[in-house]
């Protein structure tokens, strides 16, 4: 069994497998081929890989391995028919990736499709590991741009009141953002469309913003459900009202397979105070703030700073690579049976939970998207977006 780890495309600083995972993979029977300088941007040198038993190889040799592990979809050129590709394919936004693999006879394992509520999947959940870091970094970016101190300070020159931070959304990223802002000394308010999130928000030091008529808008897989336009407007009005005098606003709302919902319209930005900082964690999928420019930091006419940094986990490349590597190593080694990778049709992580399970969601399967030149039968939702 061999695994290829290619260098990621320009703009992606992470690497899929780090040296700390090599020994576990080798122990499970894998030969690891790493493209030269694949880990350089995340501070893992070729020598670090060689010292723990990996081989530094050319890109063609890496892509020619039986299993290719990466972060971004690498394309199908150079990958052998029958090979496995494990990455974050984001298939509902990029159905062409799935089609390319079907046409080329490549098995595609999309790690963002992990059924996150299965207890066995927790250690493989790349969404959670990367979102955690993104939420942390979002607050640090807000603190770096806001023109005032965060904690309360009592000095001989006077008392500085603590900054007010509003976190919109309290999934994995939001909860980490709340906890980080609280550790910095801010007064933190947070919202979520899931009423059950109130207790979680308060447990990490936030104050829950409740919206009249709020229900528990959470689906069986743990993601937020799409909301009606009327309720979205109500949430926007309520939360943006709380944020009107905030120093830092972090938006986290992301809906699986859909564009990011607008939670901060332009009209709200006009009501925010000068010097306020909005950190949009979803700039890469359209943005939660109507005025966000992906990849840029802008200042509006009324002095509001909007941070549209894309790929927040990539700004912490050393740590995010290590966590992603741990996720993928646990996943890949779980598939080994008698010296080979075996994709079992009864594995809920691969194919999704059975229809009578509490975790079954609209016929959507797990991480196994296509195999042997065909879409997996459990990927019924995905079948509707393929060309």
Provide the annotated active-site residues.
116, 122, 125, 128, 223
Query: How far are the Cα atoms of 2, 17, 75, 266 from residue 366, in angstroms, in the given order?
Result: 24, 22, 21, 38
Q: Which of 173, 169, 171, 187 is nearest to 248 (CA)?
A: 187
CB 146 within 8 A of CB 247: yes
Residue with tokens 């801010």: 186
* Tokens, residue 357: 């399970």
Question: What distance in Å separates the CA atoms of residue 384 and residue 366, rounded to the nearest whole number?
Answer: 16
For residues 215, 283, 122, 100, the Cα torsion angle rounded to the nearest 10 degrees is: 120
Provide long-range contacts, Cβ within 8 A and 24+ apart, for 157-164: 162/186, 162/187, 163/187, 163/247, 163/248, 164/189, 164/245, 164/246, 164/247, 164/248
Closest residue by Cα to residue 254 from 169, 136, 311: 169
């Amino acid at each position: 069994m061999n695994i290829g780890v290619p260098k990621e495309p320009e703009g992606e600083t992470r690497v899929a497998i780090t040296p700390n995972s090599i020994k576990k993979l080798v122990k499970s029977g894998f030969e690891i081929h790493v493209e030269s300088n694949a880990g350089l941007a995340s501070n893992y040198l070729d020598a670090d890989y060689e010292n723990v038993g990996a081989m530094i190889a050319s890109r063609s040799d890496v892509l020619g391995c039986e299993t290719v592990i990466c972060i971004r979809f690498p394309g199908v050129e150079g990958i052998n028919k029958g090979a496995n590709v494990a990455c974050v394919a984001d298939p509902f936004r990029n159905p062409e990736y799935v089609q390319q693999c079907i046409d080329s006879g490549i098995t595609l394992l999309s790690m963002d499709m992990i059924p996150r509520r299965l207890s066995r999947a927790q250690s493989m959940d790349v969404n959670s590991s990367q979102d955690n870091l993104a939420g942390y970094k979002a607050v640090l970016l807000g603190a770096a741009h806001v023109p005032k101190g965060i904690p309360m300070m009592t000095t001989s020159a006077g008392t500085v009141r603590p900054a007010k931070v509003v976190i919109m959304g309290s999934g994995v990223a939001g909860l980490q953002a709340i906890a980080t802002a609280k550790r910095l000394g801010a007064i933190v308010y947070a919202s979520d469309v899931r009423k059950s999130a109130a207790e979680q928000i308060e447990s990490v030091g936030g104050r829950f913003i409740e919206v009249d008529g709020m229900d528990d808008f959470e689906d069986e897989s743990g993601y937020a459900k799409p909301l009606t336009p009327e309720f979205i407007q109500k949430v926007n009005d309520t939360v943006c009202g709380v944020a009107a005098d905030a120093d830092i606003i972090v938006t986290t709302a992301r809906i699986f397979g859909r564009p990011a919902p607008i939670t901060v319209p332009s009209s709200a930005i006009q009501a925010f105070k000068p010097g306020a900082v909005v950190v949009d964690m979803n700039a890469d999928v359209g943005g939660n703030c109507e005025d966000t420019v992906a990849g840029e930091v802008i200042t509006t006419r009324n002095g509001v700073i909007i941070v549209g940094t894309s790929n927040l986990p990539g700004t912490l490349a050393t740590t995010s690579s290590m966590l992603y590597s741990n996720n993928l190593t646990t996943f890949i080694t779980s598939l080994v049976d008698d010296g080979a990778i075996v994709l079992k049709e009864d594995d809920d992580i691969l194919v999704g939970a059975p229809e009578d399970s509490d975790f079954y969601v609209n016929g959507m399967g797990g991480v196994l998207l296509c195999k042997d030149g065909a879409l997996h039968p459990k990927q019924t939702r995905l079948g509707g977006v393929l060309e």
